[in-house]
């Protein structure tokens, strides 16, 4: 089936989740990268745990909760909390993102984001990085009130565009998200930016790329 829609994950795929901590590295010190990774891991764990417990909080609340724990664990000055949160709202895109999106926009394809982020967070990320007009839709899990990789999340573009799952090429840097989308029926492509190893979750992507520029060879 020909691709009619390209759906991107946001965090870690289009936008660098470590950039908030990196912009404060002079204040955090040498542990900034370990701190950033812990914050991200805790954030994801909270999304999964809250989904399992049926105790939903939106992604911004989870981001703040996971930051508070991470600051406690790493002994980070609590006065940095608001600065880190404000920086998280305007995470930096990866260098190739805008050019790739502009190239894809010239094709007869729907371009969208499918993310755990709230609608307001996604809009601010797109606006702050001058990506306005490049996406047809910004799909948030807040429409279904449960986090990836629950299958209802992957329904969102399918229901909006009235297409089949195998018409979607789905891009994510998160292996569990690639597995979630792939098992749902998407043509899921792994954006392996860090030369990591893939999970054993009943799905192996046909295509693995190191950055989004390589997507242009697949479409």
Under 8 Å between Cβ of 20 and 84: yes
Annotated catalytic residue: which of 9, 26, 65, 137? Answer: 9
Query: Can you tell me the distance from the alpha carbon of 142 to that of 61, in angstroms, rounded to the nearest whole number?
Result: 12
Residue 30 catalytic?
no
Residues noted as catalytic: 9
């Amino acid at each position: 089936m020909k691709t009619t829609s390209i759906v991107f994950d946001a965090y870690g795929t289009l936008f660098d989740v470590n950039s908030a901590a990196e912009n404060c590295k002079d204040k955090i010190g040498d542990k900034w990268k370990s701190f950033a990774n812990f914050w991200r891991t805790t954030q994801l764990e909270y999304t999964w745990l809250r989904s399992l417990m049926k105790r939903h909080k939106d992604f911004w609340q989870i981001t703040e909760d996971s930051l508070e724990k991470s600051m406690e664990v790493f002994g980070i000055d609590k006065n940095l909390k608001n600065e880190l949160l404000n920086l998280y709202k305007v995470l930096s895109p990866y260098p190739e993102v805008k050019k790739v999106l502009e190239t894809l926009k010239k094709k007869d394809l729907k371009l969208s984001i499918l993310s755990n982020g709230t609608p307001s967070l996604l809009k601010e990320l797109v606006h702050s990085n001058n990506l306005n007009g490049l996406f047809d839709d910004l799909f948030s899990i807040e429409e279904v009130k449960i986090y990836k990789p629950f299958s209802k999340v992957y329904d969102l573009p399918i229901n909006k565009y009235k297409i089949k799952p195998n018409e979607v090429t789905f891009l994510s840097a998160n292996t569990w998200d690639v597995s979630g989308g792939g098992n749902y029926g998407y043509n899921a492509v792994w954006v392996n930016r860090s030369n990591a190893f893939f999970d054993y979750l009943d799905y192996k992507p046909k295509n693995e790329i190191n950055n989004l520029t390589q997507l242009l060879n697949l479409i």
